[in-house]
Every structure is written in structure tokens, then in C-alpha cells.
Amino acid sequence: MGALRLHSLTSIFAASSSSAGISYRSVRSPPIFRCHHRLRLPPRRLTTASFSAQSTAEKDAPKQTEDPKSRVQDRVITPRSQDFNAWYLDVIANAELADYGPVRGTMVIRPYGYAIWEAIQDYLNVKFKETGHSNMYFPQFIPYSFIEKEASHVEGFSPELALVTIGGGKELEEKLVVRPTSETIVNHMFTQWIHSYRDLPLMVNQWANVTRWEMRTKPFVRTLEFLWQEGHTAHATPEEAEKEALQMIAVYSKFAYEETAIPVIAGRKSKSETFAGASKTYTIEAMMGDRKALQAGTSHNLGQNFSRAFGTQVVIVPIWKKDDEKTGVLNAASSVREVLKTAGIKVKIDDTDQRTPGWKFNFWEMKGVPLRIEIGPRDVSSGSVVISRRDVPGKQGKVFGISMEASSLVAYVKEKLDEIQASLLGRATSFRDSNIVDVNSYDELKAAIGEGKWARGPWAASDKDELRVKEETGATIRCFPFEQPEGRNKTCLMTGNPAEEVAIFAKSY
């Protein structure tokens, strides 16, 4: 399964959507050290300078009142090169990933899209369990007073709140907030559950829907209601909380690299970009494709990356013209399916006779299936199949005469799937690295940002200086990456003072 070409889905793993923050907060005695980590589908913000093209395009995006059905029926897909935003919406509609809900800004997640979320859940639930978390469910209605108690929350979330004011036909005495996030209610419950050190660490995780009243929405990028995962933990010592925060960011990071082939950059947020109320926020930052990159097919590559995690890895398209060919071809397709299935490969036969093979090739390419197996009458006679790689377009990606013999076919398919994963990660990494510029002065930083790239340079300046960079270039510190360049003495690119770390600056979505 997988929405492989939708670059936006890759942004599930993008920076601000996967932050881990820890807040040292004293609740009763003993002091409790908290840690939150979260992941969402969809992410709220893409985090890359190079994505500004899309951000701009979005301003002119068709409003969601546009009916996507007509496009689906005609299977019209705007070329990306012509209008990135229209292409994006067309692909989501045609691949049947999501549809608009009746309330402005809401989204129906369709089976193909929801399966991605389930695959993420399956993967991460195992990791969370391994790291000691338990799943729970907290109520989604939060007393308004809880939000007011948290100054940072009021400021951050008030403009985005959905409020229930009527319940059971009556005006409520206290308005209820439909959760935009669960910190306040989790904190409230933690104080009831934690009586002593013996109750620590307390590590819970929740998969839930959250609501934020977004004015400008877009399927999977920003919607009024979205699904996410939020982890909340409490620890006896700040060291343990820190360790937990780092461990969870590592889990996300590993997932991004190994399962989705997205070369994220993990690091620490600067103070001014830290989650409100947290003392530190860690992040993984993904570089998304801008329009230029899309022209080079790179966003396409990023977006193809769900093959490993989401597994509908192979589609078989049987091809026949005459009725007397049909049975033989379908039988061969079934037996190939069984062979692959037994080997743990996800495989589907598209044997409908209402569509031509060509239509099916396009359809499954659009759905993002990385390998296609074609079986025609001649293949049946020769006991072989044709295999096409989605990441290598046209005839170059097509190999004829692969034997149907079980062990060799399985070996071939597995090898190709591994090659695709490695190739995607490799390409995405090159794309990322070729778009990060090492800078040693503010002028160099400005030049890099001006070219739509990311700038990486030593930083030991003030929050005020950071704000100045933002105002003058539009870029913010995405993170202080965990992986720091070795060797050379560092001097702050802004002040010339000694600097301990390099920071990465980029425009964010």
C-alpha cells in the first residue's frame, strides 16, 4: 500500500510535525519531568525553504468547494510543471487518498490513504511498546479553564480553537475546547496518578483526532481535524526526561530513513523555535521538493518512498486479448501471487476486464506501486514475466523474461525492492545535501537562502539576531543538528564569537 508519489505524505516525517519537547515542570512533590513527542497525519507545516514555491502557489489554489469528482471521472491530471498545486490536488483525488468533507477544511481519509496511517501505527506501536509506553485514551473535550491556565497555550492555540458551547440542548456553563493537543488534560491526569517516585516513569501514548481551526486548508497538509499520535511521559530526573526525548526523536528518525527513505536531519530547536512551555524541543527536518526540484523529478522521488513501510509492493497486471488466453494468463497470475505472498511480499492482481492494460499501468503508477509484473499469453508459454520498476520510467525500467520459478522470482523481486529503497534514499540524500550550503558569514547565509537553499553555519548569536535573520531573509533556525561537522574551529557567522555548534537555517512552510 502506499501513496508513493504524493510528496506531501512524506512530510509526515517533516520537522515541526515530529517534534519532541521536554518540559521540566514541578507537579506536587516529587518534581516530575515531562516529555512529549508527537507525530501527525497530516503534518501541519512542511519545513523547508525550497517549498516556498508551493506555499505561494497555494494562495491561488482552487478553493475546496471545487468538485474534484469531475476530474476523477475524466482522470485529468494537471502536469506538475504547469501548476504544482493543481497537480497535487488532482493526484490526491485520482489516487483516491482523500476527499473533502462537507465542513470546510475537513477531509475524509479514504482507504488507500488510511492504510498509510495504519502502517505507521503498526510500526510505531511496536517501537513505543519496546520503549515502555502504554497506549491510552484521553477525552477530547477540555474545560476552557485548562487552556487559560497555560499562558503559552492560550496564546498559541486560542485563535485555532473549536469550542463546544451547547450540550444536550443547553448552553454550557463552561465552554469546552475540542482538543487541539492534549498537554493540559494529560497534565491534569498525571497529577492524580503520580503519588511518588514509584509511579515513575509514566509513559503514555495516544492515537487521536485533534482539531485546529485553520483558515487555509489543504488535504494532508493542513486540515481542521487531523489524526496524530502524541506521547507524554513523566520522569523522576531531568536526565531521564532528556534521554527519553532523545530516544523518541531517534525512533522517528530511524523510521524516516529506514522505512520511508526520507533523509531527515535530526537536531535541537533554537530557543525561539522551541515548543511553547518546553525547555528543549528536538526535531527531524525533511527537505521537501520545491517547484524546481519537482521539475527534476525529485519531489517525485521523495514521494515514492513509502514502498518499504506500506508494502503494496507489487501489482500484477494480466494481459490477454482473446478469451481462450484469459484462463491461462489468470492462472499464471494467481500462482505468481501465491509465490510472492508466501514470501511475505504484498501483492495484488488487477484482473478487471473493464480497463485496458495501459490504463492499469497508469493507475498503479499513480497509486505509487514500485514494481509491476505483466503477464501475457507469450509469457505464460515461456514461463516468464515482465517486471517494470516505477522509479525508472519507460522501457529502461522494464525487464523481460524473468523466470516464474518461485525461488528465482522471489529473489529477483526482493532484490529489486531493496534496490528501489536504496535508490530512493540515495537520491533524496543527494538532493538534500546538494541543497545545503555551508556558510561562514551572514552574507553567505543570505545568498544561500536567496537561492532557495538551506544554510548551515556556526551560530552563537542572540535571539534578537535570530529574529533579524528571519525578518531579513524569511529563514528560521530549523535546528542545531545532532550531527555536527568535525574539526575546524567555529566562529559565529553573525558575531564572529566562538560558536559551539552549527545551526541550519531555512524557510519553512
What is the binding site for a copy of itself (CB under 8 A)? 69, 73, 99, 101-103, 106-111, 114-115, 117-118, 134-143, 146, 158-169, 175-176, 178, 185, 188-189, 192-193, 195, 198, 204, 208-209, 211, 213-215, 224-225, 227, 354
Give the distance from CA 181 to its chain's centroid.
18
Cα distance between residue 161 and residue 143, in whole Å: 12
Q: In this structure, what DSSP letter does residue 487 have?
A: S
Q: Which residue's CB is nearer to a copy of itself, number 44 or number 416?
A: 44
Q: Considering the complex, what minimum distance in angstroms separates the CB of residue 110 from a copy of itself?
A: 6
Q: Closest Cα to residue 203, out of 16, 22, 18, 19?
A: 22
Q: Considering the complex, what minimum distance in angstroms separates the CB of residue 104 from a copy of itself?
A: 10
Q: Which residue's CB is nearer to a copy of itself, number 162 or number 447?
A: 162
Q: Considering the complex, what minimum distance in angstroms separates the CB of residue 109 from a copy of itself?
A: 4
Q: Which residue's CB is nearer to a copy of itself, number 227 or number 288?
A: 227
Cα distance between residue 192 and residue 189, in whole Å: 5
Q: Considering the complex, what minimum distance in angstroms separates the CB of residue 74 from a copy of itself?
A: 12
Query: N- to C-terminal Cα distance for the chain?
Result: 27
Count the residues in the chain.
Answer: 509
Q: Closest Cα to residue 20, out of 103, 133, 109?
A: 133
Q: Which residue's CB is nearer to a copy of itself, number 166 or number 467?
A: 166
Please report the DSSP string for 5-19 in residue order: T-HHHHGGGSGGGG-
Q: Which pairs with CB-CB distance under 8 Å and at least 24 residues apart come from 422-426?
A: 423/391, 424/261, 424/301, 424/302, 424/304, 424/305, 424/307, 424/391, 425/257, 425/261, 425/262, 425/263, 425/305
Q: Closest Cα to residue 163, out of 140, 182, 185?
A: 140
> Which residues touch 465 (CB under 8 Å, ≥6 apart)?
494, 495
Q: Which residue's CB is nearer to a copy of itself, number 56 or number 165?
A: 165
Helix H or strand E segment including 381: helix 377-382
Q: Which residue's CB is nearer to a copy of itself, number 101 or number 156?
A: 101
Q: Considering the complex, what minimum distance in angstroms separates the CB of residue 178 from a copy of itself?
A: 7
Q: Which residue's CB is nearer to a copy of itself, number 62 or number 139?
A: 139
Cα distance between residue 479 and residue 270, in whole Å: 6
Q: Is the CA virtual torsion 395, 306, 3, 452 positive or negative?
A: negative
Q: Considering the complex, what minimum distance in angstroms separates the CB of residue 62 from a copy of itself?
A: 17
Q: Considering the complex, what minimum distance in angstroms separates the CB of residue 32 from a copy of itself?
A: 17
Q: Which residue's CB is nearer to a copy of itself, number 121 or number 247?
A: 121
> Which residues touch 74 (CB under 8 Å, ≥6 apart)?
none
Q: Considering the complex, what minimum distance in angstroms separates the CB of residue 101 from a copy of itself?
A: 4
Q: Considering the complex, what minimum distance in angstroms separates the CB of residue 331 from a copy of itself?
A: 23
Q: What are phi and psi of 263, to 5 degrees?
A: -80, 80
Cα distance between residue 496 and residue 267, in whole Å: 23
Q: Which residue's CB is nearer to a copy of itself, number 165 or number 327?
A: 165
Q: Considering the complex, what minimum distance in angstroms separates the CB of residue 256 from a copy of itself?
A: 23
Q: Which residue's CB is nearer to a copy of itself, number 65 or number 192?
A: 192
